[in-house]
C-alpha cells in the first residue's frame, strides 16, 4: 500500500512539474508518446530559457525514474515508463533549442558589427523592423551593399565617417569613434525611428530623415532592410 501511494505521488509530481512549473508556451500532448509544442522564437534569451528548462526537466525525469527503481519497481512500471517518455520528449526539446541557439550564434559571428548594432537596437526599444531599416541604410553607407559593415569607413572626399557616415564637419566627436561610442550615439539620436512594422518603410524614413541621402538609393536601401530583417529575425 505504501509503495502504491508513493507511486501515485511520483506520477502526480512529474505531471504537475512538467505542466505547471514553467510558463507557457510549452504544452504537453499525450499521444501514446509525449510531445511538446516547441517555442518558435528569434530572441536568444528566450531560447536559452527554454533550453535550460528542457535540460532541467530531463534531469527531473531521470531522478523520478531512479527514485522509482530504488523503491523496487521494474522497468515496466508506469512511473518509470512515464519518466522515460518525459525524458525523451524533453531531450527532443533540448536538441531543438540548442540547434536554434547555434543558428543564431552563427549569424551573429558571421557579421559581428551588424550583429552588435542589431542587438543594441532591439534590446533598447527599437522594433525588429526599425533595426532592419537602420542596418539597411548602413549597408549602403559603410557595408559596400552587404552586412559586412565597416564602422571605421571614411569618405575622405566628403569627410564622412562611421556606421552612418556622420559628417566630420557637423559631428566631429564621431570621427574616429569606437563601435561602442557610435552605437551609443545612434541609440540616442535615432529615437524618432524606433517604431516601425515594415523594414522597407523604416529604411526610407531613416534615409530621408537621418541620412538625408539621395533618393536614387532608396530602393536599394529598402532591399537591404529586408535582407537584414530576414537574416537576423527570420533565421
For 129-153, the pLDDT digits (tens) are 999 999 999 999 999 999 999 999 9
How confident is residue 97, by pLDDT bands cut at 50, 70 and 90? very high
Which of 110, 143, 178 finishes a domain?
Answer: 110
Three-class SS of residue 26? coil
- Residue 101, pLDDT above cutoff 80: yes
Q: Give yes or no: residues 82 and 25 share one domain.
A: yes
As a whole number, mean pLDDT of residues 88-95 equals 95
Residue 176 half-sphere exposure toward CB, CA atoms < 13 A: 2
Q: Give yes or no: residues 126 and 224 share one domain.
A: yes
Q: State pTM to two decimals.
A: 0.73
Q: Give yes or no: residues 56 and 137 share one domain.
A: no
Which of 110, 143, 166 finishes a domain?
Answer: 110
As a whole number, mean pLDDT of residues 71-87 equals 93
- How far apart (Å, rounded) are the C-alpha atoms in residues 235 and 231? 6
The pLDDT score that the predictor gives to residue 234 is 80
| C-alpha cell, 109 | 559571428
The pLDDT score that the predictor gives to residue 6 is 52
- How far apart (Å, rounded) are the C-alpha atoms in residues 63 and 37? 23
- Residue 21, pLDDT above cutoff 60: no
Q: Give yes or no: residues 117 and 104 share one domain.
A: no
CATH number at residue 148: 1.10.530.10
The pLDDT score that the predictor gives to residue 41 is 83
The pLDDT score that the predictor gives to residue 201 is 98
Three-class SS of residue 175? coil
How confident is residue 96, by pLDDT bands cut at 50, 70 and 90? very high
How confident is residue 95, by pLDDT bands cut at 50, 70 and 90? very high
pLDDT in tens, 47-58: 999 999 999 999
How does the average pLDDT of the chain come out, rounded?
Answer: 88
Burial of 143 (C-beta count, 10 Å sphere; 0-12/13-18/19+): buried
Q: Give yes or no: residues 78 and 132 share one domain.
A: no
Range of the domain at 54: 2-110
Q: Give yes or no: residues 138 and 228 share one domain.
A: yes
Instruction: Give buried/exposed letters for 110-137 (b at 16+ CB in 10 A, else e).
Output: ebebbbbbbebbbeeebbbbbbbbbbbb
The pLDDT score that the predictor gives to residue 158 is 87
Q: Give yes or no: residues 71 and 42 share one domain.
A: yes
How confident is residue 207, by pLDDT bands cut at 50, 70 and 90? very high
The pLDDT score that the predictor gives to residue 3 is 53
- Residue 185, pLDDT above cutoff 60: yes
As a whole number, mean pLDDT of residues 175-190 equals 97
Omega within 30 of 0 (cis) for the link into 120:
no
Q: Give yes or no: residues 96 and 151 share one domain.
A: no
Q: Give yes or no: residues 121 and 217 share one domain.
A: yes
How confident is residue 32, by pLDDT bands cut at 50, 70 and 90? low
Q: Give yes or no: residues 126 and 63 share one domain.
A: no
Which of 84, 110, 136 finishes a domain?
Answer: 110
Q: Which strands, in side-by-side order, build the sheet including 154-155?
A: 154-155, 160-161, 166-167
Q: Give yes or no: residues 13 and 125 share one domain.
A: no
* Residue of 81, 111, 78, 123 lying closest to 228 (CA atoms): 111
- Residue 27, pLDDT above cutoff 50: no
Q: Give yes or no: residues 121 and 94 share one domain.
A: no
Domain count, the chain: 2
Amino acid at each position: 500500500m505504501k509503495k502504491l501511494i508513493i507511486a501515485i505521488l511520483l506520477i502526480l509530481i512529474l505531471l504537475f512539474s512538467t505542466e505547471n512549473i514553467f510558463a507557457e508556451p510549452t504544452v504537453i500532448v499525450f499521444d501514446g508518446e509525449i510531445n511538446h509544442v516547441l517555442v518558435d522564437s528569434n530572441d536568444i534569451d528566450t531560447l536559452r530559457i527554454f533550453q535550460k528548462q528542457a535540460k532541467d526537466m530531463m534531469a527531473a525525469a531521470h531522478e523520478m525514474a531512479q527514485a522509482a527503481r530504488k523503491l523496487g519497481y521494474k522497468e515496466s512500471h508506469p512511473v518509470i515508463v512515464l519518466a522515460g517518455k518525459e525524458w525523451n520528449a524533453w531531450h527532443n526539446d533540448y536538441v531543438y533549442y540548442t540547434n536554434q541557439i547555434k543558428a543564431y550564434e552563427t549569424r551573429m559571428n558571421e557579421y559581428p558589427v551588424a550583429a552588435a548594432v542589431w542587438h543594441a537596437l532591439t534590446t533598447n526599444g527599437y522594433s525588429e523592423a526599425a533595426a532592419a531599416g537602420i542596418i539597411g541604410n548602413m549597408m549602403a553607407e559603410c557595408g559596400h551593399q552587404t552586412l559586412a559593415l565597416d564602422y571605421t569607413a571614411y569618405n575622405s572626399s566628403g569627410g564622412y565617417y562611421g556606421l552612418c557616415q556622420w559628417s566630420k564637419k557637423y559631428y566631429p566627436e564621431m570621427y574616429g569613434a569606437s563601435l561602442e561610442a557610435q552605437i551609443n550615439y545612434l541609440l540616442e539620436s535615432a529615437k524618432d525611428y524606433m517604431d516601425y512594422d515594415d523594414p522597407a518603410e523604416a529604411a526610407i524614413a531613416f534615409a530621408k530623415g537621418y541620412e538625408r541621402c539621395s533618393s536614387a538609393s532608396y530602393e536599394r536601401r529598402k532591399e537591404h532592410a529586408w535582407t537584414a530583417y530576414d537574416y537576423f529575425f527570420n533565421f
